[in-house]
């Protein structure tokens, strides 16, 4: 029996008692949505539950990639005090589900027909052994570029379609005295950029071989060296104060015209909207050059922790609210993401949202929808973290491109 399973069984009674006492009328939700745009989106869910007479105990843990939240979660479970629901991504859900820690949501799923409307790519992270263990909130795609339209117009730059055009645009902005790329020097942000750069450099077959299949030859290939070389170009075009910057502060640089571009998932759009900006007028959204036909994704989901083998009324209400069509539309319009169910109309979405929904559907039907390495949807956490270490070390100048490719292949081999 694993150590985690032992902890869960040993503390089950404590979990049940604390759950019945603390969550009789409320849901306690652990999450990392702490930026302005994210908080505005989360409020949609809070208000939905309040309308059903269910209170909300907020447990935010800052940190855009969710690593800090997962650390807090492990401590809570060890202490026998699991939250009602937890925001989770990808392989983290599967890890907890395989440990038997998550509640069975099949009754709610059957009542709402989740199997018919949730894409297979999301189901693979929401179900364990045929059992629904989490409720998908959205689909984020990660290979977006966000640009300040006025900055680009002032410098005669059209949205670049190729890597070569992108390099030329960066050079133009740098010469004009504008920071070309807004970036936050955190491991998950470095990896988010690398996700898109690698897809652009090698295409979908290479991406799948390297990051999903973990093929050693692809990981150490000349194509991977080229991806790291392109990251060196990115590094040369960020400002000197990038280290440790939160992603939303980098987005603010684009919003304020201090920088031209940001490579970030579509949660960045929530920051533009929260600042009163309009897509197509104040800012532009487009796929990273060379990835126009591909979508790399992550999906925020709320996993419900098993509290004695019975899904509480509050947990059932939360899961039901999350997958309702009205909530999926209202939430994702604010969040910047697209719905996790395929039958939601795009009528309420802005231009970037409509494009995101169109791109997602096209990528899913053409086989070009891939789980994001940077966001825990391509490989398990141990492998992802090993990749993070190499990508960040290279971005900070510890390796040249050729050495980084070698180190990446070695790190993945050790982590498996």
- Percent of the chain whose pLDDT exceeds 70: 94
Q: Each residue of 41-60: pLDDT tens digit?
A: 889 989 988 988 899 999 99
Give pLDDT tens digits for 157-198.
999 999 999 999 999 999 999 999 999 999 999 999 999 999
What's the pLDDT score for residue 17?
A: 35
User: What's the confidence (pLDDT) of residue 164?
Assistant: 98
Q: Which long-range contacts (CB under 8 A, 24 or more apart) does 150-158 make?
A: 150/257, 150/282, 151/178, 151/257, 151/259, 151/260, 152/260, 152/284, 155/260, 157/260
**Tokens matching residue 84:** 């009602």
Region 76-102: mean pLDDT is 93
Average pLDDT over residues 208-221: 98
Cα 54 from Cα 47, distance rounded (Å): 9
Reply yes or no on whether the pLDDT at 23 is more than 50. Answer: no
Find, among 101, 157, 160, the residue nearest to 133 by Cα. Answer: 101
Q: How far apart are CA 96 and CA 112, in angstroms?
A: 24
| Gyration radius (Cα) of the chain, Å | 21
2: confidence class by pLDDT, cuts 50, 70, 90:
very low
Percentage of the chain with pLDDT > 90?
82
Tell me phi and psi for residue 277, to 5 degrees.
-90, 150
- For residue 3, the model assigns a pLDDT of 46
Q: What is the pLDDT of residues 373-403, one digit of tens each?
A: 999 999 999 999 999 999 999 999 999 999 9
Structure tokens at 108: 């709610």
Q: How far is CA 408 from CA 92, 201, 218, 234, 390, in A?
A: 22, 16, 10, 19, 6
Region 274-295 average pLDDT: 97
For the chain, list the domains and their CATH numbers.
3-139+299-356 (3.40.190.10), 141-297+366-415 (3.40.190.10)
This prediction has a pTM of: 0.85
């Amino acid at each position: 029996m694993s150590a985690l399973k032992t902890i869960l069984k040993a503390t089950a009674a404590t979990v049940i008692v604390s759950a019945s006492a603390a969550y009789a009328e409320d849901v306690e939700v652990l999450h990392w949505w702490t930026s302005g745009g994210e908080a505005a989106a989360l409020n949609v869910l809070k208000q939905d539950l309040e309308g059903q007479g269910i209170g909300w105990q907020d447990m935010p843990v800052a940190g855009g990639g969710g690593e800090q939240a997962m650390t807090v979660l492990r401590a809570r479970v060890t202490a026998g005090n699991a939250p009602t629901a937890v925001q989770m991504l990808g392989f983290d859900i599967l890890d907890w589900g395989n440990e038997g820690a998550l509640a069975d949501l099949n009754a709610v799923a059957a009542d709402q027909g989740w199997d018919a409307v949730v894409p297979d790519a999301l189901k693979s992270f929401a179900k364990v052994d045929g059992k629904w263990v989490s409720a998908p909130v959205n689909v984020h795609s990660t290979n977006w570029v966000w640009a300040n339209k006025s900055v680009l117009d002032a410098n005669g730059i059209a949205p670049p379609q190729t890597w070569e055009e992108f390099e030329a645009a960066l050079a133009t902005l740098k010469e004009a005295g504008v920071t070309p790329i807004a970036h936050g020097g955190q491991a998950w942000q470095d990896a988010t950029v690398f996700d898109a750069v690698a897809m652009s450099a090698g295409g979908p077959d290479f991406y799948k071989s390297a990051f999903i299949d973990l093929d050693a030859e692809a990981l150490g290939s000349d194509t991977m060296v080229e991806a790291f070389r392109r990251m060196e170009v990115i590094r040369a075009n960020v400002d000197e104060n990038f280290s440790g910057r939160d992603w939303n502060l980098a987005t603010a640089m684009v919003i304020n015209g201090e920088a031209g571009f940001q490579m970030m998932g579509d949660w960045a759009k929530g920051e533009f909207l929260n600042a009163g900006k309009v897509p197509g007028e104040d800012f532009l959204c487009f796929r990273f050059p060379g990835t126009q036909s591909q979508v790399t994704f992550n999906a925020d989901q709320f996993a419900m922790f098993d509290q004695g083998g019975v899904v509480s009324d509050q947990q059932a209400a939360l899961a039901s609210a999350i997958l309702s069509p009205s909530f999926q539309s209202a939430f994702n319009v604010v969040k910047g993401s697209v719905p996790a169910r395929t039958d939601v109309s795009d009528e309420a979405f802005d231009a970037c949202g409509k494009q995101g929904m169109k791109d997602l559907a096209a990528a899913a039907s053409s086989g070009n929808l891939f789980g994001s390495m940077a966001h825990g949807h391509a490989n398990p956490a141990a492998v992802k973290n090993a990749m993070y270490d190499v990508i960040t070390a290279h971005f900070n100048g510890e390796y040249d491109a050729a050495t980084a490719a070698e180190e990446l292949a070695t790190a993945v081999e050790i982590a498996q």
